């Protein structure tokens, strides 16, 4: 009886996830999406290992991946807009195929000792990779439209899936490149991405209908509150980039990888647990609370690093990671709420682009700090970036409140 009661309690906690996957086709598109999403954590690591291993230059490898990241930031919103306008299956498959050709071209240019500039051109072609996480969130929003509780659980699940893929992807890439050959990670990533995209696109029953060219449509950037929210995502991305580089600079490769994996695991677990918590009505307020918790928890790695204990740092990163998923889930839910109808993929891709920009800035700042001061000092950057994100969130909330107050006053005075 005791076992049955305990089991019942456990399954009760999982009830929101069971309800999430009740619609037909939801499991199939999730499996395909996870297969396509796993390589997102593989490609950059595989490219660095492949280029550095064959060409003997980490500087070249880093420059190539940086250019690829910049190209993705520029191209991804346009790809997402096409997905919104013409449909996921119609755009995602050829976009992924073009990105796969770019990865194969990079592999061949490295192997055939082509000029360095060809590596940049080939890797830039991978920028058409569709935002699989955004497309999956768009499907959940379509399936469970009008159900805020289910959408909250879906966003929590998707954030946990992001963390899982970016935790396992680099490990898988490094394992394949070291155990087989330097190009193995890139080849495996291409196969997984195309297989996943084809499986995902085949699930037409769950695909949101194309928005076409709606009259009077506007970019999500022009939606009230979107730009301030994107600046919050930019600062949050700096937290992630600085935390990763500071850890890599402080510890040896394998140890740093293990500790960063613990941070991702903490975020993954927190995301799944957060999905069982009732959805918030006041999303800006919940976002500010999450950012405040992140700011507080990001002080733990800073203090732990000063002790010189890898064990304490591991615990600190695990706890700091627990603040990541709730913040991202709440932020992405707010993006969905602010994005105009028919532009959901573009809106979420803009958020991802802001995060990537923040990661690049945080990585550069932490790298400079580690070289000119110390890796321990670099841990002050995530704390600062989280505090900036919190202040930006509070400022945006205050401005929204003032606009609402002026609107009420104007209505009371009979003004338009």
Task: Render pLDDT for 174-191 as a digit per residue (tens, 0 to 9).
Answer: 778 777 888 888 899 999
Neighbours of 189 (CB within 10 A): 27
Looking at residue 99, its pLDDT comes to 92
Separation CA 273–CA 270 (nearest Å) = 5
pLDDT digits (tens, 9 = 90+) for 198-209: 999 888 888 888
pTM of the full structure: 0.77
For residue 416, name the pLDDT band (cuts at 50, 70, 90): very low
Average pLDDT over residues 368-390: 89
Residue 130: name the closest of 162, 169, 91, 187 by CA: 91
Average pLDDT over residues 74-86: 84
Looking at residue 9, its pLDDT comes to 45
Of the two residues 20 and 415, the one the predictor is more confident about is 20
pLDDT digits (tens, 9 = 90+) for 4-36: 333 344 456 667 778 888 888 888 888 898 899
Query: Under 8 Å CB-to-CB from 317, ≥6 apart: which residues?
Result: 243, 247, 259, 260, 262, 263, 266, 301, 304
pLDDT digits (tens, 9 = 90+) for 317-342: 999 988 888 898 888 888 888 888 77
Angle between helices 148-179 and 253-274 (to 10 degrees): 160
Ramachandran region of residue 209, left (φ > 0), alpha (ψ -120 to 50) or beta? Answer: beta
Q: What is the DSSP string of 359-413?
A: HHHHHHHHHHHHHHT-HHHHTHHHHHHHHHHHHHHHHHHHHHHHHHHHHHHHHHT
Looking at residue 293, its pLDDT comes to 94
Separation CA 257–CA 248 (nearest Å) = 8
Residues of the chain with CATH 1.20.1250.20: 23-207, 220-416
Looking at residue 104, its pLDDT comes to 93
- CB crowding 202-233: b at 16 or more within 10 Å, else e: ebeebbbebbeeeeeeeebeebebbebbbbbb
* Domain 23-207 CATH assignment equals 3.30.70.580: no
Q: How far is CA 253 from CA 248, 250, 311, in A?
A: 7, 9, 16
pLDDT digits (tens, 9 = 90+) for 259-297: 877 888 888 888 888 877 776 677 888 899 999 999 999
Q: Which fold has domain 220-416?
A: Growth Hormone; Chain: A; (1.20.1250)
pLDDT digits (tens, 9 = 90+) for 49-63: 788 778 777 677 777
pLDDT digits (tens, 9 = 90+) for 113-163: 888 889 889 988 888 888 888 888 888 888 888 788 888 888 888 878 887
């Amino acid at each position: 009886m005791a076992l049955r009661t305990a089991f019942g309690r456990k399954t009760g906690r999982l009830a929101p996830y069971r309800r999430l996957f009740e619609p037909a086709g939801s499991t199939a598109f999730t499996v395909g999406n996870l297969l396509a999403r796993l390589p997102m954590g593989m490609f950059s690591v595989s490219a660095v290992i492949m280029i550095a291993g064959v060409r003997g230059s980490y500087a070249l490898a880093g420059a190539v991946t940086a250019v690829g990241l910049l190209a993705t930031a520029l191209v991804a919103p346009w790809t997402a807009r096409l997905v919104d306008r013409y449909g996921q299956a119609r755009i995602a498959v050829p976009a992924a195929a073009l990105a796969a050709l770019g990865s194969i071209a990079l592999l061949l240019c490295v192997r055939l000792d082509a000029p360095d500039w060809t590596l940049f051109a080939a890797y830039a072609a991978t920028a058409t990779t569709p935002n699989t996480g955004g497309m999956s969130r768009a499907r959940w929003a379509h399936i469970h439209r009008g159900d805020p509780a289910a959408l909250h659980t879906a966003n929590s699940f998707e954030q946990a899936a992001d963390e899982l893929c970016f935790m396992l992807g680099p490990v898988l890439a490094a394992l394949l490149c070291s155990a087989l050959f330097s190009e193995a990670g890139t080849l495996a990533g291409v196969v997984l991405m195309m297989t996943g995209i084809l499986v995902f696109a085949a699930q037409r029953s769950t695909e949101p209908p194309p928005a076409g060219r709606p009259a009077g449509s506007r970019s999500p950037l022009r939606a009230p509150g979107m730009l301030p929210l994107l600046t919050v995502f930019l600062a949050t991305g700096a937290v992630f980039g600085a935390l990763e580089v500071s850890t890599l600079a402080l510890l040896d490769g394998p140890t740093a990888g293990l500790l960063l994996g613990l941070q991702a695991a903490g975020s993954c677990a927190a995301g799944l647990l957060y999905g069982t918590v009732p959805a918030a009505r006041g999303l800006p307020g919940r976002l500010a609370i999450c950012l405040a918790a992140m700011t507080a928890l990001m002080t733990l790695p800073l203090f732990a690093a000063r002790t010189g204990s890898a064990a304490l740092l591991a615990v600190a990163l695990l706890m700091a990671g627990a603040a990541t998923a709730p913040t991202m889930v709440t932020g992405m839910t707010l993006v969905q709420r602010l994005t105009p109808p028919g532009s959901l993929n573009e809106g979420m891709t803009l958020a991802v682009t802001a995060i990537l920009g923040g990661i690049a800035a945080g990585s550069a700042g932490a790298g400079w700090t580690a070289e000119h001061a110390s890796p321990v000092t670099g841990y002050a950057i995530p704390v600062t970036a989280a505090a900036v994100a919190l202040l930006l969130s509070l400022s945006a909330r205050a401005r929204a409140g003032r606009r609402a107050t002026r609107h009420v006053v104007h209505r009371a005075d009979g003004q338009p």
